[in-house]
Amino acid sequence: MTDAARTFAMEAMFGTGRDEMVAHVPHAVRLGIKVVELGRCFATLRLPWSDDLVGDPVRGVVFGGVITTLLDQASGIAVQCALPEFMTIATLDLRIDYLRAAEPGHDLVARAECYKLTNTVAFVRGSAWDRDSGDPFASMLATFMLVGPLRPDAWQQAIARGEQALAGRSES
């Protein structure tokens, strides 16, 4: 089936600035992860710089767990953006190669692409960068298990929770 003929359950969510896609995930909210863009089989997320992300105060280097979270979030959303129906997924494997330290003081950006779907597994690749996508500080490969269909309204409820969370923060 060609990409043009495929259906995508999340197609209505494709585009820029869809922060409700991460606003219902408490860990993503705590870190401040934002959606840059969602599309067919991919997700790009941004993590604004904060001194709270530093794991090595001497060098100002971001804690590796933060980078893992950013790439895992981008990967999971990329899988959801590739599926023809809403499904529960679980990370099976996530391999990150740290190519260099992220530069202190710069936002972190991660882009993940779901490049292959089977009936039970999704395969994802991606990278994270600070200044330039052509000079990533990390690359990753991941596999996700496609657990099963979600209740028809589960994603809509999660998105609604994200929208409510965003509305609550803007009123504060």
Q: For residue 172, is it within any domain?
A: no
> pLDDT for 155-165, tens place per residue?
677 777 777 77
Residue 132, pLDDT score:
94
Q: What is residue 1's predicted lDDT score, i.e. its pLDDT?
A: 45
Q: What is the mean pLDDT of residues 138-166?
A: 80
Q: Is residue 34 part of a domain?
A: yes
pLDDT at site 152: 62
**Residue 1 belongs to some domain of the structure:** no
The answer to whether 33 touches 46, Cβ cutoff 8 Å, is: yes
| Inter-residue contact 45 to 107 (CB < 8 Å) | no
How many domains does the structure of the chain reveal? 1
Q: Which H, E and C letters describe 9-23, residue by residue? A: CCHHHCEECCCHHHH
The answer as to whether 5 is a domain residue is: no
- Is a pLDDT exceeding 80 seen at residue 154? no
Domain that holds residue 19: 11-167
Query: Could you tell me the strand order of the sheet in which 138-149 lies?
Result: 15-16, 34-39, 42-47, 108-117, 121-129, 138-149, 87-98
Task: Name the pTM for this structure.
Answer: 0.87
Tokens 């959303």 belong to residue:
77
Largest CA distance in the chain: 52
Which run of H or E residues covers position 52? none
Q: Which residues pair with 100 in a beta bridge?
A: none
Question: Which residues, in sequence order, are CB contacts of 170 under 8 Å at separation 6+?
Answer: none
Whether residue 72 lies inside any domain: the answer is yes
Dihedrals φ, ψ of 30, to 5°?
-60, -40
User: DSSP assignment of 94-107, as one string?
Assistant: EEEEE-SPPPTTS-
Residue 141 lies in a domain: yes
On whether residue 123 sits in a domain, the answer given is: yes
Whichever domain contains 136, its CATH number is: 3.10.129.10
Amino acid 171: pLDDT = 63
- Copy the structure tokens of residue 8: 């995508």
Q: What is the pLDDT of residues 89-129, one digit of tens each?
A: 999 999 999 999 999 999 999 999 999 999 999 999 999 99
Q: Which of these, 170, 130, 162, lies nearest to 38 by C-alpha position?
A: 162
Q: What is the pLDDT of residue 153?
A: 72
Is residue 43 domain-resident? yes
